[in-house]
Amino acid sequence: SELNISSYTRTNFTLKHLVAGVPYEVRVTAATNGGEGKERRVIFFLEELGPTRAVNASSIASIWSDNLLTISWEPLTLHEARGFPVYYIYLNDSSGPVKREIEPTASTTESSIVIYGLDSSQTYMLAIGVATDGGNLIGPVSGSGVLESI
């Protein structure tokens, strides 16, 4: 829904009654007697909160090609994330101890990642977590089964 601007000048405006954890989109266009300029679009949060859910484990997919692995998943919407989501990828090989501190292999703000330099004869376990600047890590959730090269 559109918000009313409570006060403004030529270069500033004020919005009131914004809510934390909600994505807001602001579009600004400069206009003169000669016409309108290019529209600028910005998405922001008054305050980022933690995600409302984890990555859907059934949406995680992986593709092997030589010694690299492409992992993809269905991203959270900005409303679900309640902030700008960062995804943490956990990839453990079968030679590691059963109980060890899980450290992220990589992080990304996208919905896919390519991991290079893997041993294609190794079996890997995959999990993905998600967090925002304003909230704790949700997950990680495991993908379906183990990742083995073909």
pLDDT band at 61 (very low <50, low <70, confident <90, very high): confident
Q: What is the pLDDT of residue 98?
A: 37
Phi-psi region of 79 (alpha: psi -120 to 50; beta: other; left: phi over 0): alpha
Candidates 149, 144, 150; CA nearest to 128 is: 144
Phi, psi angles (nearest 5°) of residue 64: -90, 145
Q: What is the pLDDT of residue 49?
A: 92
Average pLDDT on 45-74 reads 86
Average pLDDT on 9-27 reads 85
Q: What is the pLDDT of residue 97?
A: 38
Give the whole-angstrom CA distance, residue 89 versus residue 2. 37
Give the pLDDT confidence of 89-123 residue by residue, as tens digits. Answer: 887 776 653 334 456 677 777 888 888 877 777 77
Q: What is the pLDDT of residue 99?
A: 37
User: Judging by DSSP bridges, how do beta strands 86-93 and 123-132 pair with one another?
Assistant: antiparallel
